[in-house]
Structure formats: C-alpha cells, structure tokens
Amino acid sequence: MLNQNIKFAIPFCLSWINMGGVICSHGANPLNETLASIQEKAVGGDAHYQGSLALFHKHGEFGLTVDLEEAERWARMSSEKKGALGLATLAAIEMEKGNVAKGRFLYDEAYLHTNLRKLVNSNDPLALFCLGMMEIDNPPVNFPKALRHLGDAAKKGFATAQATLGMIYFTGIGTAKNSTLAINWCSKAAKSKLPLGMFYLGMAYSVGDGLPMNDEIAMRWIYAAATRELSMAQLVLGMKLAQGDGISKNLPLAVQWLRRASRKGSAEASLQLRRYENILARSGDAPKSYQNPSIETSFSQKITNQISNPNKDINNTSVNRKNEFENLPIKDDDDFVLDENMFEQPESESETLLKIGLDNYKISKYEDAKFYFIKSASLNNHKAYRYLGIIYFLGQGVKIDYEKSAHHFKKAQELGDLESSRYLRILKQFK
C-alpha cells in the first residue's frame, strides 16, 4: 500500500482511469506542445491527448487536413476511458452525421460522467470549446453561455474556437450579426491556417461583409479550405463553379468538388451533386434511386444552410456592412498565392460522367450507372463502352443481351480499349 505522504504527493493533474492504469493528463494544454508530442502521448494511451488529437483532426488544427475518420478513431479510443474531449468530439461527429439522439446522449455522458467540468474550471481551452458547443447543440440551448465559453477558448489561442465565433457572428445564428467581430476572429484563425477560419474569411470577401468584396481573394481562401478537406468549403466551391459565381463557370470541376463534399457526409452537397450531375449529363431525367435525406439538423448543418444564403439574417437583426477592417493586415502567405491554373483544365466531361457512373456501379445502382455510362460513351469514352458491355453481359439492372454486350465491347475496342478485346473472346463462348 502506498505511503500516505507519497500518495498525496502525486500531482493532481494525473489520475488513474479504468482500473487498467492508463494515465490521463488532466490540466495539460496540448496547444502549447508540438504535434509530435501530442501524437506520442496519444499513442501511449493518454485519454486527454487522444481526445485532443480527435479535435485537431476534426477541425484541421496544427496544419492537419480535416479527417473525420481519423478524428472518430481517436475519439473512440479516448471515450473508452471516459475521456471528456473524446466523448464530446464523438458526440459532435454523431450530430453532424444526423444521429442527433445518439449525439445528445454522448454529450450528456461527457458532461455527467467525465472530468469535463473540472477541466473547464481550470480554464482548459479545449474543454471550454467542447462545453460551448454542447450548450449550442444539446438542449436546453444556452447561446449566451456558449459564447462565453467559446470566447474564453478563443482568447487562449484555440483557432477552432476563434473560427467558430467568427462563424456565429458572420451568420448571426443565436446572436446579433456582427461583421466586425466575425472578421476579427476569422482572421486570427485563418492566420493559423485553420480551414474553417480560411473559409469564412473567404466568404466575407465573397459577399463584401465587413471586408471589401474581392472575388479573387475570396476564391483563394475558399479553395485553400477546400483542399484541406473542409466539406463546407468544398460545397461552396462546387456551387460557385457550377453557377459561375465569382469565377468562370466550370461544371465538370464543380461536380468533382461537390462529389468530394458529398463523400464526407454533406447532405446538401449530395442534393446539389445529383442536380448538377443531371445538368452535366444534359438530361432532365434524374436517376430514380436518389431520395432527399430528411434529418434533424445540428448547429453545423444550420450553419451550412445559412452560408448558402449569406444575405439572409436569421434573427432579423441589422446587417453591418461597414468596411471597418478594410486595412486589416492579413498577410498573404506563399501557401495561398492564387494559381491562375488552379480552376482550369479539369478532367474531361466524359471522364467526369464515367466517374459518376462508376460511383453508382460500385454500390450496385446499375440503372443509374448505365445512365451515366451512356452519356460518357456518347462522348467516345472507351471505358464507358466497356462497362456498358459488362452490364449487358452480366445482366446488371438489365436483361442479359449478348448482342448489345458485343456491340459495346467492339465500340470500346475501336477506341483503343485493350480490356474489351479480352471480354470479346470470353463472350464468344456464350453466343
């Protein structure tokens, strides 16, 4: 048994969890450490650092790209040890997936059964941020309290909290819209190269809200956030390219960005993707399998919807469009220099249509796949002809038809597709 004096000499910031002897560093501030140090402690089993790493992957801190899968992996490891940050991050991820009930349950677990409140009382910036988001997403909603927590975290240098405050003041959700505060906080986060901060700064330039309207600077920031895998930025970039808003219209490239956002779980991107896929296919007949998702929305989803209509003021408050930050010194790092070819020379329309077809083919939506293969084949895409041949050869969504299969394989072969020659040899055995 431990000597009583030795027992009380153990620093209060260390506690034993889960009977397994896993040390959790309560009170440590990962923001003051290097990413390598954080990762080392997380790999070593520290629940606090695992939760911190989950937060950083989710939002793109420390120069990381946004990676929800990696965020969820670390959050689960942390939550298994009742790690406050891990459970709160896992709750936020579930909310964004549309699993609202599960997300709120996990928020309750984080609040009631972890040391979250103790961390908040010690002014831990990550815990302050998590509790702030909990006050917004978990009933009863308390926006004034949430803003206080987020503000405290932002003042302590947590870029995600800074960008979130900017986002709230930019959209005016839950509080009066305030362009001055929005630009101030988003600029701080953008200078830390946080994707969310870069995105909202880009939106401010795009609509001329608190900053002079400048499409070139706007697209630079939005593109920078999109390449760091922020789905909200990918959605907006896709829509701007689809509509020619602030940039030359480029539908094939728009579809590519919308597809990237859709794969990350953006319901709005999925809706817009199907719309512009059909426009790209030059057909008014939408494939039949897609249905409009209907889910209760989280705060982040409300923000995404609001950002699509930036001039709408949800709280009916006055919109401040004075350029008070016109001379704000936002340095243009080399990373964000606008490449003149950045939005040029996308993959060809036939390749884009082929990829859409392949996406549907891989999940056995053969009717939709055939729809896009036909469109791509009409533009002389040899692979599209090959897949049409396979569909008719195997009877995938259609009746088996060896004549049609052979016709498509021959067309592909004429266009230089070597694989189709092999399929034609196999087909001869069935005719």
pLDDT of residue 280: 82
Report pLDDT for 407.
94
Residue 55 has pLDDT above 50, yes or no: yes
Residue 7 has pLDDT above 60, yes or no: no
pLDDT confidence tier of residue 11, bands split at 50, 70 and 90: very low
Tell me: the pLDDT tens digits for 176-185? Answer: 999 999 999 9
pLDDT-derived band of residue 286, with 50, 70 and 90 as boundaries? very low
Average of per-residue pLDDT across 406-420: 90
Task: Render pLDDT for 417-430 as a digit per residue (tens, 0 to 9).
Answer: 888 888 888 888 87
Poorest-pLDDT segment among 58-62, 194-198, 217-221, 279-283:
279-283
Best CA proximity match to 50, nearest among 22, 11, 18: 22
Say if residue 193's pLDDT is above 60: yes
Question: What are the residue boundaries of the structural domains of the chain, listed by start?
Answer: 14-157, 177-283+296-346, 350-430
**Residue 247 confidence (pLDDT) above 70:** yes
Position of tokens 């817009």?
272
pTM of the model: 0.69
Average pLDDT over residues 18-34: 61
Q: Using CA atoms, how far apart are residues 422 and 383, in angstroms rounded to an integer?
A: 14
Within 8 A by CB and 6+ apart from 53, the residues are 38, 39, 42, 74
Question: Between the CA of residue 364 and those of 199, 219, 294, 370, 380, what are the distances in Å?
Answer: 35, 37, 23, 11, 24
Model confidence at 330: pLDDT above 70? no
In terms of Cβ atoms closer than 10 Å to its own Cβ (0-12, 13-18, 19+), residue 285 is exposed
Residue 124's pLDDT band (boundaries 50, 70, 90)? very high
CA-atom Rg of the chain in angstroms: 25
Which CATH number is associated with domain 350-430? 1.25.40.10
Q: What's the pLDDT at 359?
A: 84
Q: 368 pLDDT exceeds 90?
A: no
pLDDT of 96 over the 60 cut: yes
Nearest to 384 by CA among 426, 360, 412: 412
CATH annotation of 14-157: 1.25.40
Does pLDDT of 291 surpass 90? no
Q: Is the pLDDT of residue 230 over 70?
A: yes
pLDDT of residue 297: 55
For residue 424, give both structure tokens: 């034609």
Q: Where do the H-state alpha helices sit in 98-230?
A: 100-113, 116-121, 125-137, 143-155, 159-171, 179-191, 195-207, 215-227
| CA separation for the pair 48, 86 (Å, rounded) | 8
**Cβ neighbours, 10 Å, residue 398:** 15
Question: What CATH number is given for 177-283+296-346 in this structure?
Answer: 1.25.40.10
Residue 161 vs residue 17, higher pLDDT = 161
